[in-house]
Amino acid sequence: MNSAHTQFHLRDWPRVPKRQRQALAVLLLCVAFFLASGGTVVALLIREAREQAALFPVQAVARPISAPAEEPEETLFSDGELPPGTDAGEAYLADTLWLGDSNTVRMYVYGLVPLENYMAQEGMGIEGVTGVPCVRFEGDARGYTIAEAVALVRPRRVVMTFGTNNAGGKFTCEEFISLYADAVDALQQAAPDCDIIVNAIPPVGEVRSYPDVTMDRIDEFNDALEAFCQKRHLPFLNSAQALKGKNGFAKPAYVIEDGLHMSEAGLELLMQYLREHPLATRRQSVAHSGAPQRSPPDFS
């Protein structure tokens, strides 16, 4: 018989030997059992997976395509001596009001600052901030103390340069610091949004016309001022170190002939030193367009 034409029909089943029929039946039962068992296992796995998903749902996490670079932290002033920094430029000076004695008056006389950027009086000590009416405004015959005038003007920042007239032996270091604290309190009350920078007392020349004002006392006062600033969390501008020579006195180019008052070159260096030691704060100044107009001082 040609095997290519051999076909099996259901009617031929009775002619299949008994043992072969039994083996085939066993094989079919095994296949059926395997299919049934496999289906049960798959169903159990699917059920367990669903139960696990219900117990621990997956939460989608939104991820940016590219995370933005973190901005560098701005280094803000803490207290004590101001560190050197990037030159703050003319705009920084334009927002600065200089308070002081005759050295500050010379800033205006030399044309280094406009009238609106200084308040000072020749011969003034730190006690004069609240006691000497040295500031005048247009259309007002009254004189105002520096603290009173600051309350009207409300500047962005002030630089205090006082102490030369307190260093002649009349005041102890403790008395000087106590008076300085009173002046700072008055300015903070007058303009709470104003940054206050305490500038070092400038050095004097080794040869000078005022021997009572000594470098030893100025250095003592400056050390006390720095400690005071640390205690009160105020910035201290240590400009004296830039004005001194190797002998510990002011460099001759930075004082005039009397050895006490700063020269134009010395004041220019002081202003540059302030620019190169800027105060970094997040305090926002309050815009104030209603400040009265200053009256020029009478030097006659």
Same-domain check for residues 248 and 106: yes
Based on the fold, state whether residues 19 and 100 are members of the same structural domain. no
Considering the domain boundaries, does residue 5 fall inside one? no
Q: What pLDDT, in 10s, does the model give residues 114-161?
A: 999 999 999 999 999 999 999 999 999 999 999 999 999 999 999 999
CB 163 within 8 A of CB 176: yes
Q: Are residues 140 and 216 in the same domain?
A: yes
- pLDDT tens readout for residues 230-245: 999 999 999 999 999 9
Residue 244 lies in a domain: yes
Specify the higher pLDDT residue, 85 or 65. 85
Residues 49 and 137 both lie in one domain: no
pLDDT of residue 121: 97
Q: What is this structure's pTM?
A: 0.74
Q: What is the mean predicted confidence (pLDDT) over 41-50?
A: 56
Exposed / middle / buried, residue 181 (Cβ in 10 Å: 0-12, 13-18, 19+): middle
Task: Kindly report the three-state secondary structure assignment for every residue of the chain.
Answer: CCHHHCCCCHHHHHHCCHHHHHHHHHHHHHHHHHHHHHHHHHHHHHHHHHHHHHHCCCCCCCCCCCCCCCCCCCCCCCCEECCCCCCCHHHHHHCEEEEECHHHHHHHHCCCCCHHHEEECCCCCCCHHHHCCCECECCCCCCECHHHHHHHHCCCEEEEECCHHHCCCCCCHHHHHHHHHHHHHHHHHHCCCCEEEEECCCCCCCCCCCCCCCHHHHHHHHHHHHHHHHHHCCEEECCHHHHECCCCCECHHHECCCCCCECHHHHHHHHHHHHHCCCCCCCCCCCCCCCCCECCCCCC
pLDDT at res. 46: 57
> With bands split at pLDDT 50, 70 and 90, how would you rate the model's confidence at 107?
very high
Tell me whether residue 23 is in a domain: yes
- How far apart (Å, rounded) are the C-alpha atoms in residues 187 and 210? 30
Residues 114 and 259 reside in one and the same domain: yes
**Residue 25: what are its φ and ψ, rounded to 5°?**
-65, -40
Question: Rounded to whole angstroms, how far apart are CA atoms 37 and 54?
Answer: 26
pLDDT of 65 reads 38
Residue 80 has what pLDDT? Answer: 86
CATH number at residue 145: 3.40.50.1110
What digits encode the pLDDT tens for the residues 15-35?
656 666 666 665 666 556 556
Residue type, 126: I
Total number of domains in the chain: 2
Residues 36 and 180 in one domain: no
Share the mean pLDDT of the chain: 84
pLDDT of residue 40: 59
Domain encompassing residue 218: 80-276
| The two structure tokens encoding residue 132 | 């000497």
- Together in a domain, 135 and 199: yes
Residues 100 and 26 in one domain: no
State the Cα–Cα distance between residues 228 and 185, nearest whole angstrom. Answer: 13
pLDDT (tens digit per residue) in 179-188: 999 999 999 9
